[in-house]
Structure formats: structure tokens, C-alpha cells
Amino acid sequence: MVRTVIDPVTRIEGHLRVECEVVDGKITDAWVSGGLFRGMEIVLQGRKPADAYYVAQRICGVCPISHGHASTMAAEAALGITIPDGARVVRNIIEAAQYLHSHILWFYTLAALDYIDPAEALKADIGKTYDLAQAAGTSTANFAAVQSKLKALVEGGQLSIFTNGWFGHPAYAKKMPPELALIAVAHYLEALELQADAARIIAIMGGKFPHFMTSLPGGTAFVPDENKLDDILFRFQRVRDWIYSTMIPDTLAIAPFYTDALSYGGGHGNFLAWGVFNKKGGEVDRKQRYLPEGAIFAGDLKPQDSDEAKVLEFVKHSWYTDESNNLNPADGKTTPEFTDYNVNDKYTWAKAARYDGKPMEAGPLSRMLVAYLRGVPEVKSVVDLALGKLGASGKPEVLVSLLGRIAARNLEAAVVADWSLQWVTELIEAIKGGDVSYFAEPTQSAGEGAGLWEAPRGALGHWMTVGGQGRITEYQVCTPSTWDNGPRDEQGVRGVAEEALVGTPIVDVEKPLEACRIVRSFDP
């Protein structure tokens, strides 16, 4: 038995350490440690409810829209606000832009270098590259120019944006043609522009990105007109077309070289989604969401209705005092107490979130499984297409794996891109019809409520209590990375990523690339 440690895990948002035991070339145990204490719950004590919208966004620079919306919904529940329908559609649109930005960024910039060795692209034959792109149904580019730029980087000894990869590692697919590597490098560069286009939509609607300014409690301060919406529609269309012409075909072209990743990385097999993108009434009834809520337990692919009352957080292995232990977030406490890093005791700032006593995976795989099994037609269509390409038609259970987790995120991007066009068109038609409202006032000055939503990374909850003076008296957040990267619980049951790491093959313990793939598949 040997120990291998990745500290820090790169190409993520935040600070993460992963420690693994490896026996006979496979991981037999793992510990995931979040090394950054944010403490937003403490910062928000005594502030006005509207302040939480701005402060809580700073939890993450990649998914601030989701934190803003969850915080805003918590305030609206506490203050008795039902937002107008115009605000619902605006929020769906700006949330969709963030999803597309995040998913493109994740696949190409953060994850792809674990599967594509860019140096291999130098061996590609340009003519064969165009032939392969056509056969794979993916878009072409000036492949000769891309190869020339890459050659200059390699010969100069500075890989620039391709730094921080264990290139040449034996875990890269040896049968993958260098032409596919060149296609992927070209699309990596295109992705930098496309994710920026999605971010520009957020800037138009939210004033800036990250940390937008407009979805405050009550609705939205963004009042759209047809000219702005035409601009937004154009950008969404460009992003949507690129996802279908490039991102999805790339996914399906690379996946066959890593089909072994269908056999590990699945973890506990429990999934939780609070639901996202509201239909009319979705602010109150989470069943009225385009991507619905639901909980799935291992061995039973039948979603149950989710219930926030079943959430508890444990801190036996986290740097908090006992008064923070075994509480639902509505009653939660954040009382930090750092001791030292000890995998046999306390080793992380993340709490161990449990739903009905079980660790639950959060993220696109959870959402897509719940939506697929609940019969959402747009999801069923794209998932069935992918299952057919993987030779697993009618077997959604194969998605409970490393490869399935990767595919789910990219397939979700296609679904959200289609809906984004629908929502912008819906808003344009509503404006043409006149009488669209975007803001509603509070009906009470005190109360409590929860904003249960979905960040691109997964299930997100903000809980807020507002006291008689109109100030926040209690605030708690349970993020997707709490669900996925949390530690063992009171019974010693591993967290989600920890369990997913177990069974992962490791070729080189000094360079555990395969472990990085598992961890990054959760977009921590």
C-alpha cells in the first residue's frame, strides 16, 4: 500500500487536497479536503436580507448567478414575495447563460487536458484531420495554423495555456489518433471565445460578470427591450449552434477511447436535485421546473420527491465545534474550530451533508438522471442519443460512472441552450404584448425561508431567517461542493467524491492523473 497526494488540485475553483491509498494499482481509500474557510454565514449575520444577494455571490466566481438566485429566493420566501412572471423569465435566461459559460469552460479548459495530450497534435496529418472532423460530425478550423502555434509553444519550452498537465502519461488513450488531438486543441481555443459570449449575455443583463447586480429580492432590476433581447438572442444562438456542431460531437468522438471509464467512478449511486429553471409557480412548487427536483437511491432508478427537511450536516471530520453537528441547515450553525489536518480525525472545512442519512451526488448527472427518469422529453432525446453512441441503448444506469458524469454535463448544455432561445423568444413576445412587470414588494418584514436551486455544479441551498428588526439572524449555505466533496460522516461513510475515487486504476502513484479525472468530473 502506498499513499498518493494531490495538493493542490489544479484547474478548479477553490482549494482542494486529495489523498489516496493505492494497493495493486487501484485506489482503496480516499480523503478529500477543502482547504479554504469562507464563512459567508458569519459575514451575513445582522445584515439586511438584500445584502445577502450581493455577499453570497462571492462564494464562487464561476457560479455567482446561482448563489445570487438561491439567496434571493430565500429572502423572498422569508419576506412573503412572489415575483412577477417577467422576472421569472429574465432569471431563467441569465441562469441559462451562466450554465452555458460554466459547462463550456469546464469541459474544454478545466477537464479536457486530462484526456487529450496536446503535444500529440504535432503528429497530426492536416488532411486526415479534416477527414476525421467530417467523419465525426464536428466543426473544422484552420488546423494547420493551430498546429503551427502549438509547435512554437512546444519548441519554446513554454506550453502557455496548456501548462499543468502530466502530458505523456501512460493513462492517455494510446489508440487515439493525433488528428483527434489536433481537433480538440483547435476547439479548446474556440471554447475560450464561446464561453466569453455566454458571459457577455450575463454582463448585458446583470451589469457585469462575475457577481451580477440585477436579480435582487423581488424580481429583477434588468428591464429588457427588444433591441437588448435581439442582441442576447444572437449570442445564445451562436453558443447553441457551437454546442451542437462542436461540443457534443467532440464528446462523442473522444468517449469511445475511454469506455473503460464506464466501469468505475460511480460512487455511492445516490443522486439529489432541487430542480432549476422555473415554470410558472416554480418559485413555490419545485415540481414546476424545467429540470425537475428528485432524489434517487442506489439500485432504484425511480426518483422520489425531494424534501429539504431530510438534510442534515455532520462535522465529526470537519473543522467546526460540536454545536454545528447533526443539524438541518434551517437550524444550522457555522462555528469554526481549526485543529490540524488528520485523516483519522478532522481534515476539511466542508461539512458532511446527508439526505435521509445518505451521501448524495449533486450535479449535471443528478439532474439529467432525475429529468430522464421523470420523462422530460428534451432530456430523454439527447440522453438516448448518447446511450446509443456508447452501445448502451435503454441503459441509463451506465451513466453512473466517470464517463457518464462527463457526458451528462455536456448533454445538459445542449438542452439548456435550446431552452434559452425559447425563453428569450417568450420574453420578446410578452414585451410586444405589453404589460410585463418585473418587480414585487415584500408583504412582511420578518420570517424564514429557503432558496433551493441548482448551480451548474449541483444542488444548492440557502437558508435565511429575518428577525423583527428586518435583519438576518441566521444564514446557512449548503453548496454542491459540500455534497460532492464533503468528508466521512458519523458512521465513517465516505463522502461522494471519496467513494467515487475508490476502485479507480492508478498507473503512476507519483502522477495520479486518473484520480484527478474523478475529482474534476465533479467540477469542484
- Cβ proximity of 277 and 302 under 8 Å: no
Q: What percent of the chain has pLDDT over 70?
A: 100
Mean pLDDT of 248-255: 96
Task: For residues 203 and 420, give the distance between their C-alpha atoms in angstroms, rounded to a whole number.
Answer: 16
Mean pLDDT, residues 196-208 taken together: 97
Find out whether 16 and 524 touch, Cβ atoms under 8 Å: yes
What's 306's DSSP letter? P
Query: Into how many domains does the chain fold?
Result: 1
Residue 169 grid coordinates: 502519461
Check whether 154 has a pLDDT greater than 90.
Answer: no
Q: Give the three cell numbers for residue 503.
A: 476502485
Residue 124 grid cell:
497530426
Tell me what the mean pLDDT of segment 252-269 comes to.
Answer: 95
pLDDT of residue 389: 86
pLDDT band at 158 (very low <50, low <70, confident <90, very high): confident
- Residue 12, φ and ψ in degrees, nearest 5: -140, 175
DSSP-derived secondary structure for 44-102: TTTS-HHHHHHHHGGG-SSSHHHHHHHHHHHHHHHHT----HHHHHHHHHHHHHHHHHH
For residue 154, the domain's CATH number is 1.10.645.10
* Nearest in space to 337 (alpha carbons), one of 326, 328, 348: 348
Q: What confidence score (pLDDT) does residue 161 get? A: 76
Strand duo 276-278 + 271-273: pairing: unpaired
Percent of the chain with pLDDT over 90: 92
pLDDT tens figures, 109-137: 999 999 999 989 999 999 999 999 999 99
In angstroms, how far is CA 247 from the centroid of its own chain? 17
Q: What is the mean pLDDT of residues 83-98?
A: 97
402-433 helix and 226-242 helix, angle to the nearest 10 degrees: 160
What is the predicted pLDDT for the residue at 414? 98
Mean pLDDT, range 38-43, rounded to an integer = 94
Peptide bond preceding 210: is omega within 30 degrees of 0, i.e. cis?
A: yes
Are 187 and 203 within 8 A, CB to CB? no
Burial state string for 78-88 with b = 16 or more CB within 10 A and e = fewer than 16:
bbebbbbbbbb
Q: What is the pLDDT of residue 280?
A: 87
- Measured CA to CA, the distance from residue 74 to residue 485 in angstroms comes to 24
Give Cβ neighbours of residue 410 (< 8 Å, ≥ 6 apart): 103, 107, 243, 247, 248, 251
Model confidence at 165: pLDDT above 90? no
Q: What are phi and psi of 273, to 5 degrees?
A: -140, 130
- At residue 138, the pLDDT reads 98
What is the predicted pLDDT for the residue at 40?
95
Task: Output the pLDDT for position 319.
Answer: 98
Asked if residues 109 and 191 have their Cβ atoms less than 8 Å apart, the reply is yes
- Domain range for 437 is 2-521
**Cell 495554423 belongs to residue:** 145
343 and 324 Cβ atoms separated by less than 8 Å: no
What is the rounded average pLDDT of the residues 335-361? 98
**159 pLDDT band (50/70/90 cuts)?**
confident
pLDDT at 283 over 90: no
Helix (H) and strand (E) counts in the chain: 15, 13
Q: What confidence category does residue 56 fall into, taking pLDDT thresholds of 50, 70 and 90?
A: very high
How much is the pLDDT for 418? 98
The pTM score is 0.97
CB 116 within 8 A of CB 184: yes
What are the C-alpha distances in Å from 193 to residues 4, 263, 470?
36, 34, 44
- Decide if 392 contacts 436 (C-beta within 8 A): no
Whose grid coordinates read 438576518?
Answer: 472
What is the reported pLDDT for 115? 96
For the cut 80, the answer to whether the pLDDT of residue 397 exceeds it is: yes
Measured CA to CA, the distance from residue 61 to residue 211 in angstroms comes to 7
Asked if pLDDT for residue 66 goes beyond 80, the answer is yes
Q: In the structure grid, which three cell numbers stand for residue 411, read together?
A: 448533454
461-501 tens-digit pLDDT: 999 999 989 999 999 999 999 999 999 999 999 999 999 99
What are the C-alpha distances in Å from 18 to residues 382, 439, 487, 519? 33, 45, 11, 8
523: left (phi over 0), alpha (psi -120 to 50) or beta: left
Q: Write the pLDDT tens digit of every residue in 3-29.
A: 999 999 999 988 999 999 999 999 999
Q: What was the pLDDT predicted at 14?
A: 86
Cα 191 from Cα 109, distance rounded (Å):
8
The amino acid occupying position 493 is V
Task: Give residue 512's identity as a one-letter amino acid code.
Answer: P
Which has more pLDDT, 405 or 155?
A: 405
When pLDDT is averaged across residues 372-401 and rounded to a whole number, the result is: 94
Q: Is the pLDDT of residue 390 over 90?
A: no
List, in sequence order, every residue forming a beta bridge with 320; answer none if it has no partner: 336
- H/E run at residue 409: helix 402-433
What is the average pLDDT value for the chain, to the nearest integer?
96
